[in-house]
């Protein structure tokens, strides 16, 4: 039986640790996003792992959460209420949209500010 050398094993653990940290950060950001239930389910964890495997930058995912939350919170007066987001999968189209956008990072800072103000008022 051939055993992996110690450095290879340490490298595998390091890669796995980075993956778990990425998943944790995605799920934490998802939980904190306005309009979500704040709960994570097994499919959400699996989707976060898929996003890691695809190499989707964490900043892209966070910006997608901000963009979707802004769209949900900042709507015309009298608009019907939206149901609570119950799955990370809800954000997939917005993640794809943000991946294809060429927007200055200041735009997402602006949206974060708008969300904060909308939450204070509402």
Would residue 30 count as lying in a domain?
yes
Tell me if 111 is assigned to some domain. Answer: yes
Closest listed residue to residue 49, CA positions, set 5, 2, 15: 15
Q: Which residue has the tokens 């939450």?
A: 119
pTM: 0.83
Q: How many domains does the chain have?
A: 1
Short-list 67, 65, 61, CA closest to 111: 67
Q: What percent of the chain has pLDDT over 70?
A: 89
Task: Give the pLDDT band (50/70/90) at residue 69.
Answer: very high
User: According to the model, what pLDDT value does residue 15 have?
Assistant: 78
Instruction: State how far the Cα of 28 lies from the Cα of 22, in Å rounded to an integer.
Output: 10
Cα atoms found within 13 Å of the Cα of residue 36, Cβ hemisphere only: 23
Residue 50 pLDDT > 90 = yes
Q: Indicate whether 81 belongs to any domain.
A: no
Q: Which domain holds residue 94?
A: 7-74+86-121
Confirm whether 93 is domain-assigned: yes
Q: Is residue 11 part of a domain?
A: yes
pLDDT for 1 beyond 60: no
Cβ-count burial of 4 within 10 angstroms (0-12 exposed, 13-18 middle, 19+ buried)? exposed
Q: What token pair was written down for 20?
A: 């778990």
Q: Is the pLDDT of residue 88 over 80?
A: yes
Q: The tokens 């009298």 sit on which residue?
A: 78
- 79 located within any domain: no
Mean pLDDT to the nearest integer, 42-53: 98
- Confidence (pLDDT) at 44: 98
Instruction: Establish if 92 belongs to a structural domain.
Output: yes
């Amino acid at each position: 039986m051939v055993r992996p050398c110690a450095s290879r094993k340490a490298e595998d653990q390091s890669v796995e640790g980075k993956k778990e940290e990425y998943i944790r950060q995605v799920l934490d950001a998802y939980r904190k996003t306005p309009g979500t239930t704040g709960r994570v389910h097994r499919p959400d964890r699996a989707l976060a792992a898929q996003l890691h495997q695809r190499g989707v930058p964490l900043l892209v995912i966070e910006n997608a959460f901000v963009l979707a939350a802004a769209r949900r919170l900042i709507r015309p007066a009298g608009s019907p209420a939206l149901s609570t987001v119950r799955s990370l999968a809800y954000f997939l189209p917005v993640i794809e949209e943000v991946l294809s956008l060429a927007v200055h990072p200041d735009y997402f800072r602006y949206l974060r500010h708008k969300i904060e103000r909308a939450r204070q008022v509402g």
